[in-house]
Amino acid sequence: MESCIFCKIIKGKIPGKIIYRDTDVIVFYDISPKAPVHFLVVPVKHLPSLREVNDEDQKLLGKLLFTARKIAEDLKIAGSGYKVVMNNGKDAGQLVYHLHLHVLGGWRKKEDWVV
């Protein structure tokens, strides 16, 4: 999609602080973090939300979660714990209509949780 900010990051038209990329998935830091570590796991394929996925996307959806786990381990937040959040639709707080996972962690104390 031409107006999608995530598609623009994927295509290199605007910068993103990219952590990981392969043919199916891109991972980059959130520009407005809600935790000490806050990154997004985004499919390269443009899917506005879970409403638009179909049977052929099952493997991709699994890869998103697997990638979230892998990057959480790489960034050393897996041991202490992290959140995985997917907002779907306006009433759920979705701001960018390109399916994505928020991975949040790195808190030292429960009182520090902002989300």
Query: Is 98 noted as a catalytic residue in this protein?
Result: no
Active-site entry in 38, 46, 98, 100: 100
For residue 115, pLDDT over 60 is answered with: no
Q: What are the angstrom distances between the C-alpha of 3 and each of 23, 46, 96?
A: 21, 11, 10
Q: Return mean pLDDT, the chain.
A: 93
pTM: 0.92
- Superfamily of domain covering 5-112: HIT-like (3.30.428.10)
Q: What would the pLDDT profile of 42-90 be if each residue is shown by its tens digit?
A: 999 999 999 999 999 999 999 999 999 999 999 999 999 999 999 999 9
Q: What's residue 108's pLDDT?
A: 76
**10, 7, 38: which is closest to 114 by C-alpha?**
38
**Domain range annotation of the chain:** 5-112
